[in-house]
Amino acid sequence: MRLNDCHNFHDFRKLAQQRLPGPIFNYIDGAADDEVTLRQNTQSFERCDLVPNVLRGVEAIDMSVTVMGQKLAMPVYCSPTALQRLFHHAGERAVAAAAAKYGTMFGVSSLGTVSLEELRKAHATPQVYQFYFHRDRGLNRAMMQRAKQAGVNVMMLTVDSITGGNRERDLRTGFSIPFRLTLAGMAQFAIKPMWGINYLTHEGFKLPQLDEHVDMSGGAMSIGRYFTEMLDPSMTWDDVAEMVKLWNGQFCLKGIMSVADAKRAVEIGCTGIILSNHGGRQLDGSRAAFDQLAEIVDAVGDRIDVIMDGGIQRGTHVLKALSLGAKAVGVGRFYLYPLAAAGQAGVERALGLMRTEIERDMKLMGCRSIDQLSRENLRFR
């Protein structure tokens, strides 16, 4: 299977599975507990039907949107995700370049493997910094100041990860950073030698956003341990309100799922919220973001930009979310599988296919621009 054989999300996933060692593929692919929420994230779109209009003169399509003050050429952006250079040696560099090619936003994680300064200098497209709230409040302030100095456009605080989810696939393989694998996990690396060759022949793996603050030289720092030991479960709305004031710019909360929390985000001055269950990787059994979208848009959509992520695999999924009132949608696995399969070329192909799908689907819906999408275009079963 080659990159040109990939025409949709499932094709990219298959190619990534062929090329990645099992523990790394399962880190991307897996979710918490029984992975019920992971499946529901996509299935939620299947319970909603599109109702198209015809004869609307759709020769020219404008799919641009403005979200949290950022003008995007398409209503899909690359959500910040951790450890990207484990999946492909180019990592965030490939994702940022592909996002820039398509004029959309990309995110850099606190657990990113390329520095936010390097990416900010390389690309003029909007950049998000995804931030975790650490026990060390001085560390929090220092990381925010660093992002401000780098010219980051949007600060994104993840609020659904005060402790790590129960990701049993990682427990079975022993996945951690640095690697401390089970025998079965090591065997998976042995049968995918090209990944190892690329890993060893490129620059060393690091976490530049945290290198000055986290000493991993003494042993393995599992992702679960990072969440459990370094992040602060005592974080409150007062702490976040202080961060919003300190940042004094575009600030969004990622992981909002209730109307009450959405209203609090408005009250403390956030400019955006992202409905998200962390791709099903935290609380299994939590509601799909798409199923919760209308309720939250109705409550706060006129006062704050409402975005969602989780389960997006098709252009029609994007249009359904926008029709309910989302200003844009984020994708994670959608670009991580292509990244793992083929680096920048893979991410560009995935974003290009998505852009083509959205344009075609808007024409078939009878919509020339995003603002012509509405709930009149939808029916729920």
Give me the DSSP letters along 68-110.
TTEEESSSEEE---S-HHHHSTTTHHHHHHHHHHTT--EEEET
Q: Does 31 score more than 90 pLDDT?
A: yes
Q: Which residue has the higher pLDDT, 162 or 177?
A: 162
- Kindly give the residue spans of alpha helices, DSSP state H, lying in the chain: 9-19, 22-29, 36-46, 84-87, 92-101, 116-122, 137-150, 168-173, 183-190, 193-201, 223-225, 237-247, 259-267, 289-300, 315-324, 333-365
Q: Does 292 score more than 80 pLDDT?
A: yes
Tokens found for residue 41:
């994230």
| CB-based contact 334:318 (threshold 8 Å) | no
pTM: 0.94
How far is residue 321's CA from residue 3's CA, in Å, rounded to a whole number?
28
pLDDT-wise least confident of 4-18, 212-226, 362-376: 212-226
Which of 88, 89, 134, 278 is catalytic? The answer is 278
* Phi, psi at 197, each rounded to 5°: -65, -45
How far is residue 342's CA from residue 348's CA, in Å, rounded to a whole number?
10
- Residue-wise pLDDT tens digits, 43-56: 999 999 999 999 99
How far is residue 130's CA from residue 117's CA, in Å, rounded to a whole number?
14
Distance of CA 122 to the CA centre of its chain: 20
How far is residue 141's CA from residue 271's CA, in Å, rounded to a whole number?
20
Tally Cβ neighbours within 10 Å of residue 278.
21
Tokens 């620059």 -> residue? 203
How far is residue 136's CA from residue 213's CA, in Å, rounded to a whole number?
10
Helix %, strand %, coil % of the chain (to 5): 50, 15, 40
The mean per-residue pLDDT over the stretch 29-45 comes to 97
Tokens found for residue 73:
């050429």
DSSP assignment letter at 279: G
Collapsing DSSP to helix, strand or coil, 255 comes out as: strand
* Phi, psi at 185, each rounded to 5°: -65, -40
Tokens 């603050």 -> residue? 213
pLDDT at 138: 85
Annotated catalytic residue 89:
no
pLDDT at 3: 97
Q: Does 178 score more than 70 pLDDT?
A: no
